[in-house]
Amino acid sequence: MGTMQGKLESIRESMMKELDSVDSSESLQVLRVRYLGKKGLLTQMLRSLGNLPPEERPAAGQSLNELRREFEAALEGRQRLISIAEDEAREASDLVDVTLPPRGRGWGGFHPVVQTMNEIIDIFVGMGFSVAYGPEIEDDFHNFEALNIPPHHPARDMQDTFYLDNGRLLRTHTSPVEVRAMLKWGAPLRIIVPGKVYRRDSDQTHSPMFHQLEGLLIDEDVSLADLKGCLNTFVGAIFGRPLDSRFRASYFPFTEPSLEMDVECFACSGRNPSCRICKGTGWLEILGCGMTHPNVLRYGGIDPDRYNGFAWGMGPDRVAMLKYGLTDLRVLFEGHGSFLTGGGY
Amino acid sequence: MRISWKWLNEFCKIPLSPEEAAERLTLTGCEVESIERPCSALKGLIVGRIEKLRVHPERADLFVAELDLGGPRAQCVTAARNLKEGDFVPYGAPGSAIADGTVLGKREFDSVTSVGMMLSAEEIGLPWIAEEFGILRLPRALVPGEDLVKALGLDDCILEISITPNRGDLLSLMGLARECHGVIPGAVLERKELRPPQVGNQGTVAWDGLTLEDPGCPLYGLSFAPSVKIEPSPLETRIRLAFSGVRSINNIVDATNAVMLITGQPLHAFDLDRLPAREITVRGASEGERFRTLDGKEHVLADGDLLITSGGVPVALAGIMGGENSEITPETKSVAFESAFFEPLRVSRTARRLGMGTEASYRFSRGVDPSRVLPTLSCLAEFLWKETSQRVEEKVRVVSTRTWDNRRITLTRRKMHRILLWDDLDKASELLQRLDLREISGTAEERLFEIPTSRADLSIEEDLIEEVGRLKGYESVPSRIPPLLHGTGRVGEEVEAHRRIRVAAMSRGYLEIVTYSFINPRWVEWLRIPETDPRSRGFRLTNPISQDQSLMRTTLLPGLLQALQTNLRSGWKDPIRLFEVGRVFLPGIEGEEHREILRMAGISWNGKERRLLHETCLKDDVLSLKADVLALCGSRGRTPGFSSGLEPFGHAGQTAQVTLEGKPCGYLTSIKPGILRELEIPAPVFAFELDIEPLLPEKGFRFGQVVRYPAVYRDISLIAPVGKPVASIEEDIRALGGDLLRGLVLFDLYQGTGIPDGTRSLAYSLAYGDPSRTLRDEEVDAIHDTLRRELAEKGYVLR
């Protein structure tokens, strides 16, 4: 019995010593096999228990099993430490310079006008307007006559028109959709009409194709106050804060009264006489508007004695240029990668 | 329109500075675009009189003048040859400044000192008032030593006003004076009522008659100046015309222009002796008739143009321009002045067609005041007599076929309140009367107003409400949210689809672009689109700005390729993907006039001679763009189909027809290398273009069943002819695999040594599964073996 205990003690001592010197998973495995493997020392000792006298067997077996459990726990603890050290070493060698260029496709880029148009749409939809569309190739009736602009009327000079070989024209504004919408849905009505329009004009601030967003609200007893409230709300939303506005008298054949809306220059609020955005006037011309002319309502099949309404038309290109500080309108339609990615000088 | 502030104030005293008045006019509808002070740089200039003039003692090309400056004297040297003793001239002493800001001093001219300078018209800032080359000669009524700027009225400013097309009445000093009176409190109208002329046939000029054959001219008046002397206008007139942007010609023409500026009624002067007959007939032109206007241009006339003729010969294009054959010349001895009313639309149509925007056509197109047509002739007679001592006969010949009554419009309290939320009819009436809109009767609920004939733009009650609104000021109208705006509106499928698709495209690396809807017609040929293809039959603009933009696009591809070209030309080298959503315009089918189809399209170019990290895995090809198309359609819950296709501009071996719910909706292709060569774009370029319409209806995405029992995997490898599309092989496998075959993934594709020519080997991993249990290996083996056998029976070689 005594010898057995002594033997176990010396095995224990040498095992623990060896364990201390192990520094890799591989050598740990070797150690495990040497003691706990099929032909391992402890395994063999367990098998040889049968050679002991029967009365010694229980105590010897118990000691042996205790030693085995102790050793397994020590191995496990050692393995954990070694794994951590090994992972650390591996990660340190698998270094990736995260400042290297990425692989795969990056984000493309949005077009300022499409983006702005969508923002404008959301603002008005949030207010209760619904989106309506109409054709870009129009006829004289919808583009002019139904909007109270008879043939040869000088107001046609305001909008130089492109004509097509099939006798049609390219709409000069989104207003023809007003009449189409009135005929389709009747009153009351609350729509916005985003879209492309065309005028025969090309310079830094004019493009032969540009965008408009038209709005129309028809109900019983609509006033200029409704128009002002609606458009002031929009201005606050698109420029991110309420801006001062002023309404100037103007003329459009399809509205009566007709007004132009100017908003306080968001850049200088009129405090900088050499402001590049408002050219020192303190005001930005933003849109034309007015109360729908009774003749237009009639063309749209709506009784002007019962209903009236207001309409406006604005240029999302201009709003986008203001928002993004752009100066040349034509650049918007050339598709320069340097411009759209922001990568240009 | 350019308006002299001083001249305007002769018609209406305005108690504001020009800037304040401009602000007020702008707010009430006459946008003042700028205020110029053309002579603001002048400093210290005075009037001088030439006492003595002699040739320079040493230089024959110079003169030395002794000037009387109203006490002080000065000696000036000049090269000008148009002076004589006794002439009055502008003079600048040393220290004074001329128009360009130059400060004058003393200068030696070969031993003679010139103290200051005598000045030309250009040097005082008015080059166009010069009647001759040299020093400006001033009227003799001035006093030597007098301040030049005051004496000539150069301390004026010019308002550049943009007049809206409805307000023809504002194209005159009198009209604008009335407007100022209306919109500026405290403005006082200097009523210079026009006197109607005497009408009659007696006079020294023998005249046979006036005939109006065309309803386009319902009123025509003619007055005569039987004996005139053609000379330059007085300096004052020239300065006023210059400030108003009108060129000075001679006293007669200048008078017609000045009077037009005053009353708004255009006048025309004929050389009476050059008229073919002592008779005038106004008639419509006949189609193809030719006429040479006084600017020397010949015009081909059309039916509906209005002509003034004499003895059967056209002498003026009514309301637009006179003829070369009867214009005033330096030799003219007698003159006939025309003042008439021409129908606005008739003048407008002709002027627009012939591209002749003249001061006259501009005014006639916007409508002149019929009540001023004849009085303007009296105004002209007065002006000519007062300014240039030319006498016009008092009696005026007139013929008219129409009379004009003052329109009457009722303003109701109810309607005014509906629009302005304000109903004080008394106040409103006060405002309107300042514009000469006379209240002739009224009650507490409504007022009746008489509208002068000058205000042709006022015809309905809303027009009056606009007048009240703008005079009162729109700032006084409150601001509120219309009651109709409750709840949110609908964005609609088109916006919704566009948004999802564009974000998907941008996420996959595409730059969103917007290109012109009109393209160069040669794109049809560049893209080799045959005549049988509807895309070759786009609509053409009849009046394009340039040929480059003259055909309505029938495909989005040209815009994208052109944008790529633009980028390449400016040195772009990186890979680039471009994307556009927009309409194309195609000929109509089944009776429609045309079709506008919303499309999305994208192109990808792999970059040029640029070494990049990760280069190989970044290169696009038809299959990577196929993934893009799937993603874009996927953003709307759709999975498109792809089958081998043909496009005139597509690589014959790399073109797919794309279908949605079985219907063709576009293409995916690699552009033909030959086309790219011609476009100077290095190949390859991959492209897709799809109709958006099939993606519009919101379609709920169908989610799959949750898999709780793991699938069992088996591989299969087979050999098939190269020409057999993978899609049809997969179709076969799926059809034969039965219900338990739940997925198949192609993991290897091989062609070359080891397998027969014209075939390829495909290796698939097949997943078998059952939603309600885990399959047993033996079960799967049985199914898989059956599948293998059946595939072999179908002609596949299994490996």
Domain ranges of chain B: 2-37+157-189, 43-152, 198-400, 409-449+460-475, 492-695, 712-798
Q: How far is A28 from chain B (nearest CA, A)?
A: 36
Is the minimum CB–CB distance between A242 and chain B shorter than 8 Å? Answer: no
User: Is B675's pLDDT higher than 90?
Assistant: yes
**Nearest beta carbon to residue B366 from set A114, A154, A337:** A154
What CATH topology corresponds to B198-400?
Phenylalanyl-tRNA Synthetase; Chain B, domain 3 (3.50.40)
Would you state the CATH architecture of domain B492-695? 2-Layer Sandwich (3.30)
> Among A130, A217, A249, whose Cβ lies nearest the Cβ of B492?
A130
For A112-340, which CATH superfamily applies? Answer: Bira Bifunctional Protein; Domain 2 (3.30.930.10)
Give dist(CA A194, CA A201) in Å, integer.
20
B-chain residues within 8 Å CB-CB of A220? none
Does the N-terminal peptide bond of residue A257 adopt cis geometry, omega within 30 degrees of 0? yes
DSSP helix/strand/coil, B188: strand
Cα B194 from Cα A224, distance rounded (Å): 39
Residues of A in contact with B610 (CB under 8 A): none
Q: What is the C-alpha to C-alpha distance for residues B370 and B405, in angstroms, rounded to an integer?
A: 10
Q: Which residues of A touch B559 (CB under 8 A)?
A: 335
pLDDT at B485: 85
Going by the DSSP 8-state scheme, the letter that residue A20 receives in this structure is: H
**Nearest alpha carbon to residue B67 among B120, B109, B105, B118:** B118
Could you please report the per-residue DSSP string of B675-730? HHHHTT-PSPEEEEEEESGGG-S-----PPPPP-S--EEEEEEEEEETTS-HHHHH
Cβ density class A181-190: b for 16+ within 10 Å, e for less:
bbeeeebbbb
Instruction: Give the closest residue to B278 by CA, choosing from B229, B226, B233.
Output: B226
pLDDT at A158: 63
Between A191 and A154, the more confident residue is A191
pLDDT, average across residues B416-425: 95
Contacts of A113 in chain B (CB under 8 A): 514
Nearest CA in chain B to A258: B466
Q: How far apart are CA B614 and CA B538, in angstroms?
A: 43
Q: Which of B272, B282, B265 is nearest to B203 (CA)?
A: B272
CA distance A96 to chain B (A): 15
Q: What is the DSSP string of A71-126?
A: HHHHHHHHHHHHHHHHHHHHHHHS---TTSPP-S----B--HHHHHHHHHHHHHHH
- What's the gap between Cα B773 and its chain centre? 73
Residues in chain B: 799
If you count residue pairs, one on A and one on B, with CB atoms under 8 Å apart, how many are there? 282
The two three-digit tokens of residue B617, written as one number: 């895995």
Topology given in CATH for the domain delimited by B712-798: Alpha-Beta Plaits (3.30.70)
- Strand B267-271, strand B407-412: pairing: unpaired
- DSSP E strands, B83-203: 88-97, 106-109, 112-115, 117-118, 158-162, 188-189, 198-199
B168: nearest CA partner in chain A: A154
pLDDT digits (tens, 9 = 90+) for B126-184: 888 887 889 999 988 899 999 999 999 999 999 999 999 899 999 999 999 999 999 99
Residue pair A307/A240 in contact by the 8 Å Cβ criterion: no
Q: Nearest 5°: CA angle at A130, between A126 and A132?
A: 145
Identity (one letter) of the amino acid at A324? Y
- Highest average pLDDT, of A17-31, A325-339, B466-480, comes from B466-480
Partners of B584 in the β-ladder: B597
Percentage above 70 pLDDT, chain A: 98
Do A217 and B365 count as a contact with CB atoms less than 8 A apart? Answer: no
- For B459, the closest chain A residue by CA position comes to A256
Query: In 10 A of CB B490, how many CB atoms?
Result: 14
Q: List Cα–Cα distances, B483 to A120, A222, B26, B489, in angstroms.
A: 21, 9, 32, 14
Return the pLDDT at A344. 67
The CATH fold of domain B43-152 = OB fold (Dihydrolipoamide Acetyltransferase, E2P) (2.40.50)
Across the range A134-148, mean pLDDT stands at: 95
Q: Measured over all CA atoms, what is the biggest interatomic distance in chain A, rounded to whole angstroms?
A: 129
B24 min Cα distance to partner chain A (Å):
10
Whether residue B284 contacts residue B306, with contact meaning beta carbons closer than 8 Å, is answered with yes
In this structure, of A105-109, B18-22, B308-312, the range with the lowest mean pLDDT score is A105-109
Q: Tell me the Ramachandran region of residue B605: left when phi exceeds 0, alpha when psi lies from -120 to 50, beta otherwise.
A: beta
| pLDDT tens per residue, range B689-725 | 999 999 998 777 788 888 889 999 999 999 999 989 9
Which among B474, B489, B563 has CB closest to A334?
Answer: B563
Give the Å distances, CA to CA, from B93 to A236, B72, B154. Answer: 58, 11, 18
Cis peptide leading into residue B197 (ω within 30°): no
pLDDT band at A2 (very low <50, low <70, confident <90, very high): low
Q: How many CB atoms lie within 10 A of CB B548?
A: 14
**A216: which chain B residues are within 8 Å (Cβ-Cβ)?**
none
- How would you list the strands of the sheet with B446-451, edge to edge? B407-412, B446-451, B438-442
Chain A residue with Cα closest to B614: A103
Please check whether residue A177 is in contact with residue A155, taking contact to mean a CB–CB distance below 8 angstroms. no
Task: Kindly state the percentage of chain A with pLDDT values over 90.
Answer: 58
Mean pLDDT of B676-694: 96
Cα gap A155→B234, rounded to integer Å? 38
The number of residues in chain A equals 345
3-class SS of residue B507? helix
Binary contact (A225, B545; C-beta < 8 A): no
Helices B461-472 and B173-183, packing angle to 10 deg: 70
Q: How far apart are CA B432 and CA B452, in angstroms?
A: 12
Angle (nearest 5°) at CA B764 between B759 and B765: 170
**Which of A113, A127, A225 lies at the smallest CB-CB distance from B477?**
A225
Residue B44, token pair as written in the block: 């210290």
The mean per-residue pLDDT over the stretch A123-148 comes to 95
Question: Do B162 and B31 contact (CB within 8 A), yes or no?
Answer: yes
Give the domain B2-37+157-189 fold: Phenylalanyl-tRNA Synthetase; Chain B, domain 1 (3.30.56)
pLDDT mean over B379-395: 92
Q: Which residue has the higher pLDDT, A245 or B699?
A: A245
Q: A294 in contact with B at a CB cutoff of 8 Å?
A: yes
Angstrom distances, CA of residue B92 to CA of A307, B99, B120, B759 = 68, 11, 11, 101
Model confidence pLDDT, tens digit, residues B468-494: 999 999 999 999 999 888 888 999 999
Please report which confidence band the pLDDT of residue A345 belongs to, taking 50, 70 and 90 as the band edges. low
Domain boundaries in chain A?
Answer: 2-93, 112-340
Q: Is the pLDDT of residue B225 over 70?
A: yes
Instruction: Give the model's pLDDT for residue B32.
Output: 95
> Per residue in B560-593, pLDDT tens?
999 999 999 999 988 999 999 999 999 988 888 8
The answer to whether A206 contacts chain B (CB < 8 Å) is: no
Q: In chain A, positions 257-286, which contact chain B (CB-CB < 8 Å)?
A: 257-259
Read off the pLDDT of residues B599-639 as tens digits, 9 standing for 90 and up. 999 999 998 866 777 776 678 999 999 999 999 999 999 99
**pLDDT tens digits for range B192-215:** 778 888 888 777 888 888 999 999
Cα–Cα distance for residue pair A70/A19, rounded to 1 Å: 12
pLDDT of residue A45: 84
**Number of other residues whose CB lies within 10 A of the CB of residue B760:** 18
Q: How far apart are CA B64 and CA B112, in angstroms?
A: 8
Buried b (16+ CB within 10 A) or exposed e, B627-662: ebbbebbbbbebebebeebebbbbbeebbbbbbbee
Would you state the pLDDT for residue A269? 86
Span B92-114, mean pLDDT?
Answer: 91
Which is higher by pLDDT, A326 or A152? A326
Smallest CA–CA distance, residue B582 to chain A, in Å, is 9
Which residues 142-201 of A have a C-beta within 8 angstroms of B? 150-158, 162-166, 168, 170, 188, 190, 192, 194, 196, 198, 200
Report pLDDT digits (tens) over A261-273: 999 988 888 888 8
SS3 B173: helix
Q: CA-CA distance, B774 to B770, in Å (whole number)?
A: 7
The reply to whether residue B511 touches residue A340, judged by beta carbons under 8 angstroms, is yes
Separation CA B582–CA B598 (nearest Å): 5
Closest by Cβ to B487, choosing from A128, A162, A247: A128
Residue entry with tokens 């007698």: B334
DSSP strands (E only) in B437-556: 438-442, 446-451, 511-512, 518-519, 551-552
* Cβ–Cβ < 8 Å for A220, A323: no
Which tokens belong to B757? 């020519």
Confidence band, pLDDT 50/70/90 cuts, at residue A1 = very low
- For B653: left if phi > 0, alpha if psi spans -120 to 50, otherwise beta; the answer is alpha
Of B432, B436, B27, the closest CA to residue A250 belongs to B27
Chain A nearest C-alpha distance from B628 (Å) = 11
The mean per-residue pLDDT over the stretch B328-352 comes to 94
Same-fold call for B43-152 versus B492-695: no
